[in-house]
Amino acid sequence: MLLGAAPLPGDAAPPLALPLVCTIGKDCWVQNWPDADKGPGVADFACGARSYDGHDGTDFRIASVAAQRAGVAVLAAAPGTVLRVRDGEPDRLLAEGERPAPGRDCGNGVLVDLGSGWQAQYCHMAQGSVAVRPGQSVATGAALGKVGLSGATAFPHVHLTLRKDGAAIDPAAFGAVPGQCRSGQSLWAPASGVRYREGDVIAAGFTTAPPSVADTVDRGDALPRPDAAAPAIVAYVLAIGLAAGDVQTLVLTAPDGSEIARNTAPPLARARAQQLLFAGRRRPATGWPARLGARYRVERRGAVAIDWRFEITLSG
């Protein structure tokens, strides 16, 4: 839905809509928030570690590379006039430690003037997908292109940087008092669903062998599904936003609740942007029950941060 393109009155901060066609917590998530620590450390606006040093925008991650290939539209979060665009950069996930060519971190992107000194920059769009041109007016919700893998990307996402008079602003904490947790005003419209979460599960399912992070990032919860004849069954979870000290447990269960397999990982030595955990076993001599369940829990400082359940009915 397009919501008008009137310029901002005075220096008013722009209310922001979700910049993707998705639902937060279902098929897209905030992977990284802007870094609120102006020194060499890292802190998001909630005094968590869901950022990295010098990060100046908000990263909206989608479920998998497969979802990116199918196409997820990037939308204007606020109305304005397109200033610059770039297209033609290739879509590819960078290996650990790899960097794009100088000046190409944003990849394919769009810069929009919102008026009154405000600008919005959208990065990492798909090659050949940019659908606007300089000088074009865009309304909130207008299609700008599609989520890609261009520039500095290790997972499929769009990076949105909001600036006022050239300075990057965290739209989740506009006017925040430096060093004060969760201060400031959120510019995200309530309907956007954008809010701080203690961690998220972005893929969970059952497969036939221990998966890799690369496989799970590529296919999400669409890894090969086991059936009743499977020689082994593995439950897996890919989670984001985990903190140092978090303890993860994944349990595979029979219909009566009895444990088939359990994996409790050691406490995390540091915050993790993403973490894969799996638990499974070989087919018992009596065969598999018709239905299996799994439960993933993350304990943080003595409380439960994530509690996620899922199940499968085996065919055959």
- 85 and 32 belong to one structural domain: yes
Total count of domains within the chain:
2
Asked if pLDDT for residue 8 goes beyond 50, the answer is: no
Question: pLDDT band for position 4 (50/70/90)?
Answer: very low
Residues 266 and 213 in one domain: yes
104 and 173 fall within a common domain: yes
Do the domain assignments include residue 14? no
Q: Residues 147, 252: one domain?
A: no
Residue 22 lies in a domain: no
pLDDT tens for each residue of 40-98:
999 999 999 999 999 999 999 999 999 999 999 999 999 999 999 999 999 999 887 78
Q: Binning pLDDT at 50, 70 and 90, where does residue 316 land? A: confident
Flag whether 21 is in a domain.
no
Q: 192, 222, 240: which is the final residue of a domain?
A: 192
Q: Is 197 exposed, middle or buried (0-12, 13-18, 19+ CB in 10 A)?
A: middle
Q: For residue 215, give every residue at least 6 positions away whose Cβ sits within 8 Å of its Cβ, in sequence order, or none.
A: 223
Specify if 19 maps to a domain: no
pLDDT value of position 1: 40
Q: Is residue 5 a part of any domain in this protein?
A: no
Residue 277 belongs to domain with CATH number: 2.60.40
Q: Taking the model in full, what pTM does it have?
A: 0.93
* 105-118 tens-digit pLDDT: 999 999 999 999 99
Q: Sheet with 259-264: list strands edge to edge.
A: 259-264, 247-253, 291-300, 303-313
Residues 150 and 71 in one domain: yes
Q: What is the mean pLDDT of the chain?
A: 94
pLDDT tens by residue, 162-217:
999 999 999 999 999 988 999 999 999 999 999 999 899 999 999 999 999 999 99
pLDDT digit string (tens) for 251-296?
999 999 999 999 999 999 999 999 999 999 999 999 999 999 999 9
- Which pLDDT tens digit goes with each residue over 133-170? 999 999 999 999 999 999 999 999 999 999 999 999 99
- Residue 272 has what pLDDT? 93
